[in-house]
Structure 1
Amino acid sequence: MFGLIKTWKALSAKGIMGINRRNADYVLKYNKRSLYPVVDDKILTKERAIAAGIHVPELYGIISTEKEIDNLDRIIEGHNDFVIKPAQGAGGDGIIVIADRFEGRFKSVSGKIISHSEIEQQLSSILSGLYSLGGHRDRALIEYRVTPDPIFKSISYEGVPDIRIIVLMGYPVMAMLRLPTRQSNGKANLHQGAIGVGVDLATGLTLRGTWLNNRIAKHPDTGNPVDGVQLPDWDGFMKLAAGCYELCGLGYIGVDMVLDVDKGPLILELNARPGLNIQIANDCGLALRTTAIEAHLAELKARGVSESVEERVRFSQQMFGHVTPVEH
């Protein structure tokens, strides 16, 4: 028991946030339950983002009923590649990524041949709520397939790497790059075996890597170092993330974004209950940073002022950025 208490005190001193503290002090405190549908439903998120002029992958079509599955060919007409997602899915489950067509059938990013009937069956499963939060009836969205920037080619396996930035009341708190692996089947999902890499908020330079809760220096499939990579248009990512506070109204969120080779930074989705593995990737506790932001907000409130997106990004970069890179 004494050892557990000692360990907990050590973690608390480093500002490590546990799930209970996240839920009580941030999710419940800053996120109104009535606003959850905006982030839990990818279609609503996309519609809000488009209305606000925020860049997202283009939406080709929505299938809401079994009858509308007949509209699939019309929706994907003229598109050789596309993505099918459950609107209320979580953890990357239920997503199909089509990279090309092949003699009346389809080819996934891994090269697997998928028949038209298999895609229809997947759409039916999505509609039934198989992948949705709570198992409720769902909708399927069909959208533009992101082509990752070539900078990720040496440190990613197949799929599309994404960037998560946790945001508190419009202030970026911490960032992580998630890299697909063979084990994660090309998905950027940590629980399925993707790599999490910390990112310096000021510069966009990658830091340490964590894989299956172990610290790593190199990608297990490519063998290349995951640290020291300069992410392009980093300020663009930071401003996109900070602006999502106004977009959804939730005070504590995880903003998931991608870097498309042609379209630049795009928002994929928002998360009202972002995971805590980002602390391992950054070797830093969230609580140290969230507490600093709350103190800053209290000071601004006392002065009767608020800050713009650019000012909020600048504060976070000056307060939490310029982390010393890993030395090999």
Structure 2
Amino acid sequence: MISTWIALRKAGLLGINERNLRLVNDLNPRRLMRLVNDKTETKRLAIEAGIPTPELYGLIRNPLDMRNLETLLDKPDGCVIKPANGSQGNGIQVILGPMRGGWRRSNGQRALFEDLKFHVNNILSGMYSLSGQPDVAMIEYRVKFDEVFDPISFGGVPDIRIIVLRGIPFVAMVRLPTAESDGKANLHKGGVGVGLDLVTGRTMHGMQNGKTTEIHPDTANPLSNFSVPHWDAMLLMAAKAYEVTGLGYLGADIVLDKGKGPLLLELNARPGLAIQIANRMGIRPLVNAALTADTEGLDAEGRVDLAKKLYRQHAPAHPVNA
């Protein structure tokens, strides 16, 4: 056990306790957590800062607002229903568009209005909220994902997770939907995470359910050497999230719409550490470099340039095998 711990520490792997103590507790004031826990607040701040985000069609805050639900759902290209204070993709329903007698879900099944009304009522009750308290249902634009990831994606919208420390983006991955994850890009549901070279935005290694992989489990295509379009724009969006929230450690989740380009989906004040497996490297050297870097006078663009410099200097030369 001790020898394993020493080997992992030598490899630079950051553990959950160290993350909580050094990053979450020290850099994320509790009073600011609501800015990312509440997706309506995150969206408002992003819009004010000029960060593109999926259009919000409307909110259902209480049973009285339910009279507006059918109108909000009546979009020819569909929409997304999500809890404002949900996490890990729970409670999100993707509606592809209307079909005879109802709406088509992302899995192809038909949903009647009463089905969707029941789901929204569950959101209002707090079934999916982080605290279990009454919540708000968001109805927003359905992202039409860019075909660049078609060969390595299955039935849903991939997203890009960029972790930011003191406003410096320092590690990233793309999360890919699978059949096991029911078309969602959440790793804990069986999605695939693929590490990204922070400088170039090219895919490298993959992981699923905590184990490394080189191919997508459904398409059987190799995961490496895909270039993420608009990569520098995504890094800039992630860097700006620091100024928007004041949180020193956060994860920015960005989707790539084929017509609108990169869109900020949400922010996370406690991004997980599976990104180390996806990148096959421990992130402690990058964490230490970002914590001690001189950012005095740097704007978001300057911090992105610094991020690339630190990545070249401190990203481990020898990947960690898991």
| Residue identity opposite 1:319 in structure 2 | L
Mapping for residues 34-113 of structure 1, pairs under 5 Å: 34-113=31-110
The C-alpha deviation readout for 1:149-186, integer Å capped at 9, x for no partner, is: 01011110011000000000100110010000000000
CA distance in 1, matches of 2:69, 2:217: 38
Q: 2:262 aligns with which of 229, 253, 265?
A: 265
1:234 maps to what in 2? 231
The answer to whether the 8 A contact 1:168-1:251 is kept is yes
CA distance in 1, matches of 2:75, 2:9: 54
| Residue identity opposite 2:237 in structure 1 | L
How big is the shift at 1:78?
Answer: 4.2
TM-score, normalised to structure 1, is 0.94
Q: Which runs of 5+ in 1 are unaligned?
A: none
Q: 1:208 aligns with which of 202, 205, 210?
A: 205
CA distance in 1, matches of 2:206, 2:69: 40
TM-score, normalised to structure 2, is 0.96
How big is the shift at 1:52?
Answer: 1.1
1:131 maps to what in 2? 128
CA distance in 1, matches of 2:68, 2:278: 43
- Kindly indicate whether residue 185 of structure 2 is the aligned counterpart of residue 192 of structure 1: no
1:26 maps to what in 2? 23
CA distance in 2, matches of 1:78, 1:112: 17
Between the two proteins, what is the percent identity of the paired residues?
A: 46
CA distance in 2, matches of 1:50, 1:129: 26
Deviates more, 1:230-239 or 1:306-315: 306-315
Change (3 A) 1:325 1:202: farther
- Kindly indicate whether residue 153 of structure 2 is the aligned counterpart of residue 156 of structure 1: yes
| Residue identity opposite 2:95 in structure 1 | I
The answer to whether the 8 A contact 2:281-2:318 is kept is no
2:307 maps to what in 1? 316
How big is the shift at 1:104?
Answer: 2.8
How big is the shift at 1:77?
Answer: 3.6
| Residue identity opposite 1:33 in structure 2 | R
CA distance in 1, matches of 2:143, 2:186: 16
1:222 maps to what in 2? 219
The answer to whether the 8 A contact 2:70-2:113 is kept is no
Runs of 4+ in structure 1 deviating by more than 4 angstroms, as ranges, are: 321-326
The answer to whether the 8 A contact 2:77-2:142 is kept is no
CA distance in 1, matches of 2:273, 2:123: 28
How big is the shift at 1:273?
Answer: 0.5
Q: 1:171 aligns with which of 168, 171, 176?
A: 168
How big is the shift at 1:233?
Answer: 0.9
The C-alpha deviation readout for 1:70-119, integer Å capped at 9, x for no partner, is: 11122234444000000000110101100021113010122111111000
| Residue identity opposite 1:210 in structure 2 | M
| Residue identity opposite 2:307 in structure 1 | S
1:307 maps to what in 2? 298
How big is the shift at 1:311?
Answer: 1.4
CA distance in 2, matches of 1:158, 1:253: 28
CA distance in 1, matches of 2:76, 2:299: 39
Q: Which runs of 5+ in 2 are unaligned?
A: none
How big is the shift at 1:296?
Answer: 1.3
1:291 maps to what in 2? 288
- Kindly indicate whether residue 6 of structure 2 is the aligned counterpart of residue 15 of structure 1: no
Aligned positions, number = 317
| Residue identity opposite 2:311 in structure 1 | F
How big is the shift at 1:6?
Answer: 1.1
| Residue identity opposite 1:95 in structure 2 | I
| Residue identity opposite 2:13 in structure 1 | I
CA distance in 2, matches of 1:208, 1:189: 17
